[in-house]
Amino acid sequence: MNTSLHTTFRFGALLAASALVLAGCASTSTQPAADTATQAEAFAIADAWVKAADSGMSAAFGELENASGEDIVVVAASSEVSPMIELHETVADDAGEMVMQEIDGGFVIPAEGTSLLEPGGNHIMLMGLEQPMLAGEEVTFTLTFADDSTAEFTAPVKDYSGANENYVGDDSDMDDMDDMDDSDMDESDDHEDHDH
């Protein structure tokens, strides 16, 4: 009688131990998510170009491509040719005039799709050029994506007579730009300042 009880208890304990081992196997065989690629890695650009300009504003264009199965989003752009670069869209204002403005939420490139930057549409806006951009030169840009990854591309400068939409920044933005221009002038023109 005693022996029989003892055996039953041992058998139960063995079953419980087996169940724990099985559970352990199940959890360790679960793989981590395989897709760890950044948005920048899925990005490419075709036919990139920049509009030639001596000073002030200009814009960059091209076809943004996304090789991944999920939307990727360009949230910012930078280049050493301009201290102030924005992502712009072109829209009709209340009077039906086409005007450009900063786009909300950046440039979305759909999964396995493209997004076109073109005169009269979305574009990378350069404001306050540091130096002239002449046809035949090349300009390097860095794009930042929604996941903080970055991608560089180089675009040739081309003469182009269009893409002259009005900019509808608010007044404070324009004041900031004026301040920036003034300080730049002060630095570069110090030796020519005969006011004192």
Between 100 and 133, CB nearer to Cu ion? 100
DSSP state letter for 134: -
Between 100 and 117, CB nearer to Cu ion? 100
Asked if 155 interacts with Cu ion (CB under 5 A), we say no
Backbone angles phi, psi at 48, to 5 degrees: -70, 145
Residue whose tokens read 């182009």: 160
Angle CA(164)–CA(101)–CA(165) in degrees, nearest 5?
A: 10
Asked if 51 interacts with Cu ion (CB under 5 A), we say no
Are 135 and 52 in contact by the 8 Å Cβ rule? The answer is yes
Between 151 and 163, CB nearer to Cu ion? 163
161, two tokens: 């007579």
Asked if 129 interacts with Cu ion (CB under 5 A), we say no
Binding mask 92-111 for Cu ion (x = CB under 5 A): --------x-----------
Asked if 48 interacts with Cu ion (CB under 5 A), we say no
Asked if 127 interacts with Cu ion (CB under 5 A), we say no
State the minimum distance, in angstroms, from the CB of residue 159 to Cu ion.
Answer: 18
State the minimum distance, in angstroms, from the CB of residue 30 to Cu ion.
Answer: 48
The C-alpha atoms of residue 89 and residue 102 are separated, in whole angstroms, by 6
The C-alpha atoms of residue 70 and residue 63 are separated, in whole angstroms, by 18
Helix (H) or strand (E) holding 15: helix 2-28
Between 42 and 100, CB nearer to Cu ion? 100
Termini Cα distance of the chain: 115
State the minimum distance, in angstroms, from the CB of residue 165 to Cu ion.
Answer: 6
Asked if 88 interacts with Cu ion (CB under 5 A), we say yes
Binding positions for Cu ion, rule: CB under 5 A: 88, 100, 125
